[in-house]
A and B are shown apart, each in its own frame.
Chain A
Amino acid sequence: MERNGFLSLSGVASRYGSTQVLTDIDLSIAKGEFVALLGSSGCGKTTLLRLLAGFISPSAGEVVVRQRDVTRLPPDKRGMALVFQSYALWPHMTVAQNIGYGLKLKGIAKAEIASRVSAMQQMLGLQGLEARKPANLSGGQRQRVALGRALAVDPEILLLDEPLSNLDARIRLSVRHELRALQKRLGITAIHVTHDREEAMVMADRIVILDAGRIAQQGSPEEVYNQPASAFVAAFMGAENVLSMNGQPDGDAFMLQAGPANKATAVPFAGRKLSAGAVEARFRPEAAQLFATEEFLPRRPGVAFGGEVLAVTYPGGHWRHVVRLGDREIMADAPQAFSPGMQVVVHVPAESLFLFNSPAS
């Protein structure tokens, strides 16, 4: 893959009035890659996509496709097609007219348009719907028409602005896989904006996490999931349990001091960059293991916290417990239920415990 040759952004910034929306975005995307831009609302991910599409000009930096500077080019001269969150189908046109409009704009002959539209319908499973208006389609069908309209002009780059967020939860799961399979089959480069972590994980080759207009981390789904670079990324990737601790380096391990719920424990550095002082410890509910206090035997390296079960619920597949550790409450999953009031040990394996120096220290 020509990693540095296909689509690259360097030093891209954007401001809206006096608000800085994007700062210093450097990103290089290979041909055929599926990149997910992940972030919460207002992080600038849609702005970044619209900037790529050419609807907004950056206040600094440049966008390059195949060594060609496209920063100031109009939207249609960039070889990119955008699928909108609202689908933005034209209500007065039929399915066939919607899909074929881009071809009509290119001045392609009517017969050619008809055959390409029908091939597109075939590919997307929209056969027999060509004469329908968007108002008479289901959500999933509309989404596919929007996709077909974008793909019909044969773009090099497909931009997807939360295209699945308006679908029913059940359809969404299957559309994720369909969309990913289609992208692989066509070999098209795709940039997908989403706020749904699981969607990004399942669909993308690479995830770019945005926080307040900056890239917080980018990497493969496994990397961002297992080695979050910051407390923000860890929290965004589901490590919502947070504990404040203190510690200092000790050889090739980091020594966590005893706290209200734990004894002093050494955790191997394993690539972590930590200095002495206050640290923020984060872990996922599913990474923790629960034991009754009297049955706990430490078998794997990790940190054991003592606490009391406050509540237990069954979301399906496992039991989810709210446990009080000192002055904090955390969530922990277990295959069997521990009743409220029980004294338990929450064991977090070393590799699943994300440690970051607290910003104050």
Chain B
Amino acid sequence: MSRRLLGLALIFPALAVIVFLFILPLIMSAVGAFQVESAFGWGNFVKTFDLYTKDIVFSVVIISLSTVLIGIASIAIGGYLTLGEHPVAVAILRWLYRWPMFIPFIVVGQILRTFLAKNGMMNNTFINLGLLTPIDAQSFLDWRGIVIAFVWKQTPFVTLLVAGAMASLNRETIDAARNLGASKLRVLIEIVVPQVAMTLTVGLILSFVTMMSVLSVPLMINAQSPTMLTADIAFRVNSYGDYGVANALGLVSLVLASSVAWIYLRASLKERA
């Protein structure tokens, strides 16, 4: 009896943290989304879709595009680490690719602001090289900047997972395909990637959810309309004190994030069956 109490006592702090700092605020925020001046109703959602449908679509498109690009980049890097035959190049890549993981999003935003602006480092370099005239220089500080920031920051994380899974594959399955005449690219696409598909999916979903919640990048790079949902939530709360619409926007993000998690759960159940 006393042992059972002790056990409960031991997990109580963790449980309390989850209940009071996570579940309760989540429920309150969900309830708050349906509260309009102390009555329940759809008002916040009507307002959300009136004002922010464009931003919802913008967020989904940007994050989906980034996810696809992150997937391609991580397969390419992981594939080279697994199949590359130049040991020095492989070692350099292995050392290099992880760095962006240790840089906070806000710093990524700052770096890319100075890099992608109309008179930023990228355009200056092109102009100095004679590849671009100053008149043709354009700013990338719009949706493209957000995509570049996300891909740059999230690719190493997904690559880390994917390259780990590729490294633990049975090498003989790769040799068997080469033995039958498969090119490196075919080995990568037809043999390696299908075997790490589950890990790749998990990495991309975690990445998708992370990008859904990033505020600093859209604020730093693209503080105009349309923008990401996170920027809208911050704006609703900070400028208007309008927690109702902010909660509704939050709930929309939650539904978007859960829908990809649901895809993952379904795939993993199917694999186990």
A and B interact: yes
Residues of A within 8 A of B (CB): 53-55, 74-77, 80-82, 84-86, 88-92, 101-102, 105-106, 149, 153
| Interface presence of B177 (CB below 8 A) | yes
Task: Choose among B170, B178, B194, B195 the residue that contacts A86 (Cβ–Cβ < 8 A).
Answer: B170
A105 touches B180 (CB 8 A): yes
Task: Choose among B172, B175, B195 the residue that contacts A91 (Cβ–Cβ < 8 A).
Answer: B195
What is the CB-to-nearest-CB distance from A49 to chain B, in angstroms, rounded to a whole number? Answer: 11
What is the CB-to-nearest-CB distance from B199 to chain A, in angstroms, rounded to a whole number? Answer: 13
Contact with A along B177-211 (1 / 0, CB 8 A): 11111100010001100110100000000000000
What is the CB-to-nearest-CB distance from B178 to chain A, in angstroms, rounded to a whole number? Answer: 5
A75 touches B178 (CB 8 A): yes
Task: Choose among A81, A90, A106 the residue that contacts B179 (Cβ–Cβ < 8 A).
Answer: A81
A101 touches B173 (CB 8 A): no
B186 touches A76 (CB 8 A): no
| Interface presence of B16 (CB below 8 A) | no
| Interface presence of B176 (CB below 8 A) | yes
B180 touches A102 (CB 8 A): yes
Offer 25 A-B interface pairs, CB within 8 angstroms, sorted by A: A53-B179, A54-B179, A55-B175, A75-B175, A75-B179, A75-B181, A76-B179, A76-B181, A77-B181, A80-B179, A82-B175, A86-B172, A88-B170, A88-B172, A88-B176, A90-B173, A90-B176, A90-B177, A92-B194, A101-B177, A101-B190, A102-B181, A105-B181, A106-B181, A153-B181
B195 touches A90 (CB 8 A): yes
What is the CB-to-nearest-CB distance from A24 to chain B, in angstroms, rounded to a whole number? Answer: 26
Cβ–Cβ < 8 Å partners of A92 in chain B: 194-195, 197
Minimal Cβ-Cβ distance residue in A for B181: A76
Cβ–Cβ < 8 Å partners of B195 in chain A: 90-92
Cβ–Cβ < 8 Å partners of A74 in chain B: 178
Contacts between chains A and B (CB distance < 8 A), count = 60
The total of chain B residues at the interface (CB under 8 A) is 17
A82 touches B179 (CB 8 A): yes
Asked whether A101 and B172 contact (CB < 8 A) given A90-B191, A90-B195, the answer is no
What is the CB-to-nearest-CB distance from B159 to chain A, in angstroms, rounded to a whole number? Answer: 21
Cβ–Cβ < 8 Å partners of B180 in chain A: 76, 81, 101-102, 105, 149, 153
Cβ–Cβ < 8 Å partners of B190 in chain A: 101
Cα-based distance from A102 to B176 in the complex (angstroms): 10
Minimal Cβ-Cβ distance residue in B for A86: B172
Leading 10 A-B pairs by shortest Cβ distance = A76-B181, A88-B172, A102-B180, A92-B194, A88-B176, A84-B172, A88-B173, A105-B181, A75-B179, A82-B179
Residues of B within 8 A of A (CB): 170, 172-173, 175-182, 186, 190-191, 194-195, 197
Cβ–Cβ < 8 Å partners of B176 in chain A: 82, 84, 88, 90, 149
Cα-based distance from A153 to B182 in the complex (angstroms): 13
What is the CB-to-nearest-CB distance from A271 to chain B, in angstroms, rounded to a whole number? Answer: 42
What is the CB-to-nearest-CB distance from B259 to chain A, in angstroms, rounded to a whole number? Answer: 25
Cα-based distance from A111 to B75 in the complex (angstroms): 32
Cα-based distance from A241 to B255 in the complex (angstroms): 76
Minimal Cβ-Cβ distance residue in A for B191: A90
Minimal Cβ-Cβ distance residue in B for A161: B172
Cα-based distance from A82 to B197 in the complex (angstroms): 26
Minimal Cβ-Cβ distance residue in B for A98: B176
Task: Choose among B173, B175, B186 the residue that contacts A105 (Cβ–Cβ < 8 A).
Answer: B186
Cα-based distance from A89 to B180 in the complex (angstroms): 13
Instruction: Give me 8 other A-B pairs in contact (C-beta within 8 A), A81-B179, A101-B180 excluded.
Output: A55-B175, A84-B176, A88-B170, A88-B172, A88-B175, A88-B176, A90-B194, A105-B180
Task: Choose among B175, B191, B194, B197 the residue that contacts A84 (Cβ–Cβ < 8 A).
Answer: B175
Cβ–Cβ < 8 Å partners of B186 in chain A: 105
Cα-based distance from A54 to B181 in the complex (angstroms): 11
What is the CB-to-nearest-CB distance from B146 to chain A, in angstroms, rounded to a whole number? Answer: 34
Cβ–Cβ < 8 Å partners of A153 in chain B: 180-181
What is the CB-to-nearest-CB distance from B200 to chain A, in angstroms, rounded to a whole number? Answer: 13
What is the CB-to-nearest-CB distance from A218 to chain B, in angstroms, rounded to a whole number? Answer: 26
Cα-based distance from A159 to B195 in the complex (angstroms): 25
Minimal Cβ-Cβ distance residue in B for A76: B181
Cα-based distance from A84 to B191 in the complex (angstroms): 16
Asked whether A76 and B178 contact (CB < 8 A) given A90-B191, A90-B195, A92-B194, the answer is yes
Cα-based distance from A85 to B172 in the complex (angstroms): 9
Cβ–Cβ < 8 Å partners of B177 in chain A: 90, 101
Cα-based distance from A149 to B172 in the complex (angstroms): 14
Cα-based distance from A102 to B197 in the complex (angstroms): 22
Minimal Cβ-Cβ distance residue in A for B174: A88
Minimal Cβ-Cβ distance residue in B for A101: B180
Minimal Cβ-Cβ distance residue in B for A91: B195
Cα-based distance from A337 to B182 in the complex (angstroms): 61
What is the CB-to-nearest-CB distance from B101 to chain A, in angstroms, rounded to a whole number? Answer: 29
What is the CB-to-nearest-CB distance from A114 to chain B, in angstroms, rounded to a whole number? Answer: 18
Cα-based distance from A153 to B176 in the complex (angstroms): 12
Minimal Cβ-Cβ distance residue in A for B193: A92
Cβ–Cβ < 8 Å partners of A86 in chain B: 170, 172
Cα-based distance from A106 to B186 in the complex (angstroms): 13
Cα-based distance from A91 to B271 in the complex (angstroms): 12
Minimal Cβ-Cβ distance residue in B for A50: B175
Minimal Cβ-Cβ distance residue in A for B183: A105
Cα-based distance from A152 to B179 in the complex (angstroms): 13
